[in-house]
Amino acid sequence: MQDVLAMTYLWLKAGHIIFMVFWMAGLFMLPRQMIYLHGTAPGSEEAALWGKRMGLLRKIILTPSLVVVWVLGLALASSIGAWDQGWFHAKLLVVVALTGFHGFMVAKSKAMVAGERPLSEKQLRMWGEFPGIALALIVVLVVVKPF
């Protein structure tokens, strides 16, 4: 029985890492695609093409990966009893912030597809750094477990 539980844990962990990589890749790509869309004329053929690409990124990679990361992450936390560990609370806070970033960027990308330009290219470049910083924090929290 212990072997089954150990294998389940490893499969949950592997799935969590795989879908986290997919989610992070999408979070790195979306601001970049928004920068490309920013330079196009609203309503142009090129703007429509970037809008379609961003829609596919959201629908096929970002949102499904977000859901799977949360489900597997909560299952992992429960399986190892992480709820009373300080590093886990800090990681959870960063993941909640990443989820908020996800929603913020999705909303802004939809506004851009509709012809608005709510963020400048410079702002998009700055926001594009957020996932990398969050990822570095999460890795340190999970590997080092500083508290």
Q: Is 38 annotated as a binding residue?
A: no
- Residue environment code for 83-102, b if the CB has 16+ CB neighbours within 10 A, otherwise e: eeeebbebbbebbeebeebb
Task: Read off the pLDDT of residues 75-132 as tens digits, 9 standing for 90 and up.
Answer: 999 989 999 999 999 999 999 999 999 999 999 999 999 999 999 999 999 999 999 9
**Amino acid identity, residue 29?**
M
Structure-block tokens of residue 123: 């702002």
Q: Is 122 annotated as a binding residue?
A: no
* Calpha distance 127→147 (Å, rounded): 28
Block residue for tokens 């790509």: 29
Task: Read off the pLDDT of residues 124-133 as tens digits, 9 standing for 90 and up.
Answer: 999 999 999 9
Predicted TM-score (pTM) of the model is: 0.93
Block residue for tokens 């150990």: 6
